[in-house]
Amino acid sequence: MSEKETILEMKDLKKSFGTLDVLKGISLEIKQGEVVVVVGPSGCGKSTLLRCINGLEGIQGGEITLRGETISNQTKNMHLVRQKIGMVFQSYDLFPHMTILNNILLGPLKAQDRAKKEVVKEAEALLRRVGLFERKETYPRQLSGGQKQRVAIVRALCMHPEIMLFDEVTAALDPEMVREVLDVMLELAKEGSTMIIVTHEMQFARAIADRIIFLDKGEIVEESEPEAFFTNPKTERAKKFLNVFEFEHVK
């Protein structure tokens, strides 16, 4: 067994909204280069989990650390910690009045104070990799949903995050655009990016994951290797969840 460094650790994480307990004690450790896919029924707390990791939500118990540094919205240097976490959502929220390139440059130049020349070079290389170099001077409205989502991924990568979080990034896309976004993520995984992915694309989850986390009602119900999870889930709850998917898939 190789001893990879732990990037992110959660210990007994608890999150509630008023009287609604959404995360009921999540413990999870993510190592360098690991790809963890979180699946589970709608409303089970997947997005909330990612939002807590990214410091967008305060937590009511437990602890989250990124390379040993505590993440909480009380942390004085939270903006610096958050820069180390790249997040891509379902809606790409690019600035409509800025070109693709300027959307990507904004974070590295304004928040990280990096040299423009170097960042432009990197942004262009990343755009080339996702097949959008020649679109760099266009505006978000001129791109398809799949293209915008690829730009959103590049924008996050350009900040040099320690870990990337993806929350159902293909859920709002037309079917023919899903593939081009998933392919970019597969390539990142191959290159060793550390990622937590929330998705309903089960084939993709099976292909990309080192580990599957099955979340239900705010608890980790199963944690398995993908083959084991998809061929032989341990719990009735996971079986039920996967059955629904197969049914939808056939439909």
> Does residue number 95 form part of the binding site for ligand ADP (CB under 6 A)?
no
> Does residue number 17 form part of the binding site for ligand ADP (CB under 6 A)?
yes
Decide: 151 and 95 in contact? Cβ < 8 Å.
no
What whole-number distance in Å separates Cα of residue 226 and Cα of residue 212?
Answer: 6
What whole-number distance in Å separates Cα of residue 206 and Cα of residue 204?
Answer: 5
> Does residue number 213 form part of the binding site for ligand ADP (CB under 6 A)?
no
CB atoms within 10 A of CB 71: 23
Binding piece for Mg ion, criterion CB under 5 A, among 42-50, 67-75, 97-105, 181-189 = 42-50
Which residue lies nearer to ligand ADP by CB, 100 or 214? 214
Buried b (16+ CB within 10 A) or exposed e, 124-147: eebbeebebeebbeebbeebebbb
Report how far apart, in Å, the C-alpha atoms of 176 and of each of 16, 17, 35, 181, 243 are: 37, 37, 24, 10, 25
Q: C-beta of 173: minimal distance to Mg ion in Å?
A: 15
Strand order of the β-sheet with 6-17 is 20-31, 6-17, 61-66, 69-70
Q: C-beta of 168: minimal distance to Mg ion in Å?
A: 6
Which residue in the set 7, 10, 15, 47 belongs to the binding site for Mg ion (CB under 5 A)?
Answer: 47
Residues 40-69 that bind ligand ADP (CB under 6 A): 40, 42-48
Binding piece for ligand ADP, criterion CB under 6 A, among 38-46, 81-89, 220-228, 230-238 = 38-46
What whole-number distance in Å separates Cα of residue 152 and Cα of residue 126?
Answer: 11
Which residue lies nearer to ligand ADP by CB, 16 or 99? 16
Which residue lies nearer to ligand ADP by CB, 38 or 159? 38
By C-alpha distance, which of 39, 70, 79, 69 is closest to 167? 39
Which residue lies nearer to ligand ADP by CB, 48 or 149? 48
Which residue lies nearer to ligand ADP by CB, 173 or 198? 198
Which residue lies nearer to Mg ion by CB, 46 or 136? 46
Q: C-beta of 165: minimal distance to ligand ADP in Å?
A: 12
3-state secondary structure of 33: coil
Give phi and psi for 44, each to the nearest 5: -80, -10
Residues that bind ligand ADP (CB under 6 A): 17, 20, 22, 40, 42-48
Residues that bind Mg ion (CB under 5 A): 46-47
